[in-house]
Amino acid sequence: MERSLILATNRRNFTPDDKRRLRKKLREICSDFWVERGYKETSISELCKKANIATGSFYNLYSSKEELFFETLEEMQRFVNGNFIKDIKENPSKEGFVNAIENLYLEYESKPFLYDSKTVDFQSFYKKLPLEKRIQLEEKNSDFFRQAIKYANLKLKCPEYIAFSVFSILLSTVSSKDMLAKSCDFKSAFQFMVQNLVEDIFV
């Protein structure tokens, strides 16, 4: 497969299989670059160099850098959210929901772009997306949370939007973990908050 991928980079016209493999490779590279340097500091030429394709070939695969980043974000969200739902299905209970939240936090910690949408870097990317793409991202997040509650067989004590907001705020603490960990037992505090919030939010 790797040999065929290298040969594909030397052709002007890609077959459907070539495109599928090259797009997958570019998404993997994009994810690594996003974590290491961010959206703004990642250029198409650097992505192409890493993927061993000509810059002109990039536009045979994606219409823009933003399209690649959006597709990368979607793919990572599907993967992470899928694991979260899988954890809950294996233990549909409050305890299972707590464990799933803790595992989700670890995923967010390793891929900051999945959660930290308020950074200047993410906003630079977000503002260049068409309105329908922005709406798509927001709707997927709320649908994912709704599915998680359903699979956990839990009922809310409060309005759904409040519960969603509470867990969003809780998970956002990953952005300040390094600073907080210097003055407190962050892991124990986070586990305490998750366990107590689950008790307060669900019947």
Domain extent listing, the chain: 2-62, 66-201
The predicted-structure confidence for 47-60, as pLDDT tens digits, reads as follows 999 999 999 999 99
Phi, psi of 156 (to 5 degrees): -80, 145
Percentages helix, strand, coil for the chain, rounded to the nearest 5? 75, 0, 25
Domain 2-62 has CATH 1.10.1040.10: no
**Architecture of the domain spanning 66-201:** Orthogonal Bundle (1.10)
d(CA 115, CA 112): 6
Q: pTM for the complete prediction?
A: 0.81
As to burial, measured by CB atoms within 10 angstroms (0-12 exposed, 13-18 middle, 19+ buried), residue 183 is exposed
The predicted-structure confidence for 110-148, as pLDDT tens digits, reads as follows 887 777 777 899 999 999 999 999 888 877 777 888 889
Cα separations (Å) of 144 from 52, 65, 122, 162, 175?
36, 26, 21, 15, 22
Q: How high is the pLDDT of residue 144? A: 84
Output the six-digit token pair for 156.
Answer: 């809310």
Please tell me if the domain spanning 2-62 has the same topology as the one spanning 66-201.
no
